[in-house]
């Protein structure tokens, strides 16, 4: 193996040797510091070759570790965080106010303080709920400027469907909600866009001026009821992707969506619920998806009402 390095790289290595030594049991973060000057010089050297390089050029340093990939370290860190988050779930809750209804075809918004919980209840057991959340702390003049993002959450949790312990983040990668409990089979969706009037125009042939409920419209009207808004022009606004609770979207190992309008997953039952903890002051919106006239995602009984509760530790 050729261990010759260029003069420029040797200079970088010389600068590195002046840094403090790293402990032998260093984790990924310290190992990254330990290796960051060596890796660029010998990208093809790994394992025993890397150890031999150290013996020749840096004999006084702590043993050199193979650097785990950023994704591997992140996955391990998230697993630890998820386990800790579930353990933090209070043994008992107290309800703030009364249980509230999200009427069939409509939406409702509720404000949460950091540390409070929202319990979304699938009352009939088959109803899809489009769930949105927005940061209240940096709102300006009533405009909510930071939303819970499914794309950013995918990157944060390393999976498509959140499970208890997973932290959903915003478009600025800040934690906004942690999934604490899920009593159903865990079948949800984070890929499919919220239904809108344009979808029903395409599928039903209705005209733009014809009335039809949609999750997109429910999002904006529900926020307006509490004095919030995302835009002055909802028709051209890019609606954030929803966390589609209890929406069954089977996909294959090849990444193909088999059917994004599939019926409810087996195992769902009336009264199933999901509890999420607010990691910031936020406003949440729930929409009882009204798409039963174009597909069967809500089961044979069509769109029905669901309920929610705001909780605090007892």
Q: Give the global pTM.
A: 0.75
Could you report the per-residue pLDDT of 72-109, keeping only the tens digit for each? 555 566 655 666 666 677 778 999 999 999 999 999 99
Q: Convert the pLDDT of each residue in 188-227 to its tens digit.
A: 999 999 999 999 999 999 999 999 999 999 999 999 999 9
Q: What is the mean pLDDT of the chain?
A: 81
Q: What is the pLDDT of residue 314?
A: 84
pLDDT at residue 155, rounded to an integer: 94
Residue with tokens 């019926």: 263
The reported pLDDT for the residue numbered 235 is 77
- The conformation of residue 263, written as its DSSP 8-state character, comes to P
CB of 291 closer than 8 Å to CB of 189? no
β-pair partners for 19:
none
Asked if 34 and 64 count as a contact pair (C-beta separation under 8 A), the reply is yes
Strand order in the sheet with 129-135: 107-112, 282-288, 129-135, 243-245
Q: What is the DSSP letter of 43?
A: T
pLDDT in tens, 234-256: 777 889 999 999 999 998 888 88
């Amino acid at each position: 193996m050729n261990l010759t390095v260029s003069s420029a790289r040797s200079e970088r290595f010389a600068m590195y040797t002046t840094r403090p030594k790293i402990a032998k049991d260093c984790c990924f973060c310290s190992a990254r510091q330990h290796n960051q000057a060596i890796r660029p010089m010998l990208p093809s050297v790994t394992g025993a070759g890397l150890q031999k390089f150290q013996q020749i050029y840096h004999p006084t340093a702590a043993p050199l570790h193979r650097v785990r990939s950023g994704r591997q370290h992140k996955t391990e860190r998230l697993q630890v965080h998820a386990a800790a988050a579930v353990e933090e779930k209070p043994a008992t809750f107290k309800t703030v106010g009364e249980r509230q209804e999200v009427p069939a075809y409509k939406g409702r918004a509720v404000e949460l303080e950091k540390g409070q919980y929202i319990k979304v209840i699938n009352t009939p057991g088959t109803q899809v709920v489009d769930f949105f959340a927005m940061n209240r702390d940096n709102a300006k003049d009533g405009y909510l400027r930071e939303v819970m993002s499914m794309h950013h959450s995918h990157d944060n949790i390393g999976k498509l469907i959140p499970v208890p312990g997973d932290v959903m983040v915003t478009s600025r990668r800040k934690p906004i909600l942690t999934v604490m409990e899920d009593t159903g089979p865990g079948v949800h969706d984070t890929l499919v866009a919220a239904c809108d009037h344009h979808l029903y125009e395409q599928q039903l042939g209705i005209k733009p001026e014809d009335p039809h409920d949609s999750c997109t419209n429910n999002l904006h009207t529900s926020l307006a009821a509490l004095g919030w808004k995302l835009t002055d022009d909802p028709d051209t606004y890019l609606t954030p992707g929803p966390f589609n609770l209890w929406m069954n979207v089977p996909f294959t190992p090849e990444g193909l969506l088999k059917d994004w309008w599939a019926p409810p997953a087996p195992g769902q039952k009336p009264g199933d619920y999901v509890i999420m903890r607010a990691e910031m002051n936020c406003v949440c919106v729930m929409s009882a998806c009204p798409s039963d006239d174009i597909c069967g995602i809500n089961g044979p009984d069509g769109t029905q009402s669901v309920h929610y509760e705001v909780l605090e530790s007892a």
